[in-house]
Structure 1
Amino acid sequence: MSNEKYYVPHGTYWPIIGSVGISTLFVGFANHMHHVGWGWPVMLLGFSIIAFMLFGWIG
């Protein structure tokens, strides 16, 4: 066996938040396209979650 060391990055939860945001965005978009009344607010919520994820992860 080799004694070389390698870097294992610590775990992060931002990809999970991004997945929830994208799922919420698409559910809202699909319902908005079917003229469901709550589709537009859910789509905006999904976009807000994605924006939160981007500012938290990158910023």
Structure 2
Amino acid sequence: MMLKFLEANICITRAEYSRLTNITDRRASSDLQEYLAEGIIRKRGGGRSVVYIKNQ
């Protein structure tokens, strides 16, 4: 679901991912960390302005 979103959009935030998948913010953060570790996405920015982009 997230990859389809990233095909249509440049980036996704944790809050957008949480709403898209209908999960808690805590679970969304955990999922995004797993995707980062697997190399599926990259993190850009820091603090409150972190966005995630598709790794190419």
TM-score (norm 2): 0.33
Q: Which has the higher strand share?
A: 2
Q: Which has the higher helix share?
A: 1
Report the structure number with the largest CA radius of gyration.
Answer: 1
